[in-house]
Amino acid sequence: MRQNFPSLKGKKIRQFPHVPPAEICELSMHAPMHGNNRIPAYRRSTAPDTRRAECRAPAMIARIRPVVGVLVALLCWEALSRSGLPVARTLPPPSVVLVALVHLLGERAFLAGTASTALCWLIAVVLAGVLGGLLGLALGSTPRLRAASTFVVEFVRPLPAVALIPLMISVLSADARAAIALATFAAIWPVLFATLHALGEVDPSLLVTARTFRVPRWRTIGWVIVPATLPTVLSGIRLAATIALISLLSTEFLTGGPNGLGQFIDQSHRSDLVLAGVVVAGLLGLLADTLIIVVQRRCLPWAAREAGA
């Protein structure tokens, strides 16, 4: 081949993929959701940031520091609520809340309520993930439908789901169905938008390559589009989980409906119990958040950077 081009004789041809193709695919999927994602990742600097790496403490210390931070924050809270300032007089210190929490964790009713909330939450997030993903795929693949739906979506999306609570109660009665329906409605939008965004950000060179090799459409979807979009969609689901939990708990304690965590927070009129419930809700949120990040890192290793590793 090279002999046919005498002018190139002896010169080292700069081969196109400087990086092996597999690596190209992997790197280009690293494109963050925001940031300068117009430039494919493999053209951006991928050199490790040595200066910042030096600043980073060794792994051991880096792991201890967040714990120290939490402890300092708790101490500040303790000091504030024991200081006797007028604002803090009604705020129970963390030591009292901790005792209340331990008591609560031994109560069957509380555990059942928490389990019920967690189950409703799981259902809502799964529903939102499936519906949002499918809707995103449908809108993202038919430009005409997307253009037409833009206005409807833009109008319905900002509507806070909690505004629908009074109506939902009168229509569906205050039970788990209403709570799940509202949480799903609230959580569907981040998934939908993440899917649409991810479809727009699929590296064109991957699609062109697939088309050049006449890869059948269903395989393109399964082997190119889904792997490329999944990390971003999962980020959308992460946000959706947060929003679903907010609207689920709001529904629960505004309606006094299903006997969940939100209702417990509403009906225990002692601040320490309320705060203990808040801590449990926070731990629940944290658990789900961590779970999604672990899934992202283990099952979609190419998404590691996006997860904010």
Considering only residues 150 to 209 of the shown chain, the ones binding another protein according to CB under 8 A are 150-152, 154-156, 158-167, 170-171, 186, 199-200, 202, 204, 207-208
- Which part of the chain contacts another protein (CB under 8 A), choosing from 5-13, 20-28, 101-109, 236-244? 236-244
Minimum CB distance to another protein, residue 156 (Å)? 7
Show contacts with another protein in window 97-136 (CB under 8 A). Answer: none
User: Is residue 263 at the binding interface for another protein, with CB under 8 A as the rule?
Assistant: no
User: Is residue 148 at the binding interface for another protein, with CB under 8 A as the rule?
Assistant: yes
Contact criterion met (CB below 8 Å) for 248 and 262 = yes
Contacts with 77 (C-beta within 8 Å, 6 or more apart), sequence order: 91, 93, 94
Measured from the CB atom, the residue of 20 and 66 that comes closer to another protein is 66
Which of 140, 236, 257, 260 contacts another protein by CB under 8 A? 140
Q: Greatest CA span in the chain, whole angstroms?
A: 89
Which of 275, 292, 296, 303 contacts another protein by CB under 8 A? 275
- Which part of the chain contacts another protein (CB under 8 A), choosing from 12-20, 173-181, 219-227, 296-304? 219-227
167-174: Cβ within 8 A, 24+ apart: 168/251, 169/255, 169/257, 174/255, 174/256, 174/257, 174/258
Contacts with 231 (C-beta within 8 Å, 6 or more apart), sequence order: 29, 198, 296, 300, 302, 303, 306, 307
User: Is residue 230 at the binding interface for another protein, with CB under 8 A as the rule?
Assistant: no
User: Is residue 73 at the binding interface for another protein, with CB under 8 A as the rule?
Assistant: yes
Q: Using alpha carbons, select from 148, 131, 109 the residue that is nearest to residue 277.
A: 109
Measured from the CB atom, the residue of 70 and 112 that comes closer to another protein is 70
- Which part of the chain contacts another protein (CB under 8 A), choosing from 3-11, 104-112, 128-136, 262-270? 262-270
Measured from the CB atom, the residue of 2 and 65 that comes closer to another protein is 65
Measured from the CB atom, the residue of 70 and 130 that comes closer to another protein is 70
Secondary structure (DSSP) of 209-253: HHHHTT--HHHHIIIIIHHHHHHHHHHHHHHHHHHHHHHHHHHHH
